[in-house]
Amino acid sequence: MADRSGGRTNASLFERAERVIPGGVNSPVRAFRSVGGAPYFVARGSGPYVWDVEGRQYIDYVQSWGASIVGHPLVIEAVQRAASAGTTFGAPTEGEVRLAEEICARVEGCEMVRLVSSGTETTMSAIRLARGVTGRDRVVVFEGCYHGHSDGLLAGGGSGLATLGLPASAGVPRSAVADTVVVPYNVVPPLDDSVACVIVEPVAANMGLVPPVPGFLEGLRDGCSAAGALLIFDEVITGFRLASGGAAQVYGVQPDLWCFGKVIGGGLPLAAVVGRRDILELTVPGRAADGRSVYMSGTLNGNAIAAAAGLATLDVIAEENAPARLVEIGSALARGFEDCAYRLSVPLQMMGPPAFADPVFGDGEIYDYRSYAATNRAAAKQFGIELLKRDIFVHPASKIYISTAHNYHQVEVACNAAYEAMRAIRDRGLLE
């Protein structure tokens, strides 16, 4: 292979990065420290592939952690057109109106949209809204779910099944999580009139892919309605991936507020708080009858380039019937991995909906954070490393995101690599 690196290597770039960027990366999950080794540095992407600075090609099953649902860089023309007119104006543009209209048209029950710049901002803003609407402080979250890095949501559970949160990061004061209650996933907690909201990943995607058990989401909806609390779906990952209307459409449960991100930005920084008109209008200064408007602001909210990328992505999703395509290709990949495991007598479960999957090693039932953590995580991490050695890029702990750019050829290549990767971890004794 010809050297296109210009003398750059992944190792040399990482060494440089560690001198000027904490840990050498700007988001900890990119560091590969949880699985060992150093990251590669991407030079470019096209469709289902990325190339590193050394010219090595990988089948990309990370797809920017699910944001690039239509592959790389399919929406670049829309971005270039928008950028040619300017980047940011501090004034509204038609693009953000069109994007909000498209989101409302696709998500049943969505009446208004407030655009922000990140998943963390959308969950933080949704919780502020819920507290403003209800006049209450307490927030219920589920152990193992991740809702961004704002202080109030960086809570870890204590020793009990349902406890007031404890700071899960240095720098988070106890006071920031004093009103955060952490409960087990897939168990409907008791709710009372102290609770402002329940926020949940309708399909848990950060602890690993853990689907809701029958009755869980329905129970949350009923419990919130009875207690006068708001139900918030964090669909930063699942939104527009499971269905055009998100997980609410799949499971038939409608929250009061949604948090969308990743897909709706088309690979650029953009997210949205979505929901009922009477709730979202409280963010308009002076609109609340009691004068208690909820403050939300941001210099780059609704950024013209990000809005253009989001619109282009939603158009492709509609044209290609993306959710069905993701199920088709994802199901083929899951069957292929399961066949590899069967032939090698490896205990494997392919967790999650076919639109994204999580190979888990072990036979036990998985229904919450602790049951997921009890699986063979060492084998899963090594599986991800072995796949990367074979030019298949997955989440460091082997979570797999499908895009509409993937096809059966990449599935075949990935399954061949998976067979060799599983055999390697079996032969190393990691499955005993």
Q: Hey, is 141 helix, strand or coil?
A: strand
Task: Specify if 382 maps to a domain.
Answer: yes
User: What are the structure tokens assigned to 107, written together?
Assistant: 């998500």
Give ∠ CA 187-190-192 in degrees, rounded to 5.
150
- The answer to whether residues 336 and 311 belong to one domain is no
- The answer to whether residues 110 and 251 belong to one domain is yes
Domain boundary among 319, 342, 372: 319
- The answer to whether residues 282 and 331 belong to one domain is no
- Taking the C-alpha atoms of residue 129 and residue 127, their distance in angstroms, rounded to an integer, is 5
- The answer to whether residues 236 and 92 belong to one domain is yes
Task: Specify if 10 maps to a domain.
Answer: no
- The answer to whether residues 232 and 369 belong to one domain is no
Task: Specify if 34 maps to a domain.
Answer: no
Q: Domain holding 190: CATH number?
A: 3.40.640.10
- The answer to whether residues 123 and 138 belong to one domain is yes
pLDDT along the chain (432 residues), means of 10: 62 93 85 70 95 96 92 89 92 94 94 95 95 94 90 63 59 83 95 97 91 97 98 95 91 96 92 94 78 83 93 91 93 97 96 91 93 92 92 84 95 98 95 81
Task: Specify if 28 maps to a domain.
Answer: no
- The answer to whether residues 397 and 387 belong to one domain is yes
**pLDDT reported for residue 174:** 82
Domain boundary among 268, 292, 319: 319
Bridge partners (DSSP) of residue 181 are 140, 164
- The answer to whether residues 229 and 205 belong to one domain is yes
**pLDDT reported for residue 159:** 33
- The answer to whether residues 311 and 347 belong to one domain is no
- The answer to whether residues 54 and 87 belong to one domain is no
Q: Domain holding 353: CATH number?
A: 3.90.1150.10
Cα separations (Å) of 355 from 119, 264, 281, 388, 408?
Answer: 20, 16, 34, 21, 14
Task: Specify if 138 maps to a domain.
Answer: yes
Q: Mind telling me the catalytic residues?
A: 146, 234, 262
Domain boundary among 288, 319, 350: 319
Instruction: Say what angle helices 304-319 and 322-344 make with each other, to 10 degrees.
Output: 70
- Taking the C-alpha atoms of residue 98 and residue 308, their distance in angstroms, rounded to an integer, is 9
- The answer to whether residues 326 and 313 belong to one domain is no
Task: Specify if 142 maps to a domain.
Answer: yes
- The answer to whether residues 162 and 280 belong to one domain is yes
Other Cβ atoms within 10 Å of 214 Cβ, number: 10
Which among 212, 218, 152, 148 is positioned nearest to 184, based on CA atoms?
A: 212
Task: Specify if 32 maps to a domain.
Answer: no
The count of domains in the chain is 2
Task: Specify if 101 maps to a domain.
Answer: yes
User: What are the structure tokens assigned to 386, written together?
Assistant: 């072995």
Pairing of the two strands 49-52 and 230-235: unpaired
Residue ranges making up the domain that contains 284: 76-319
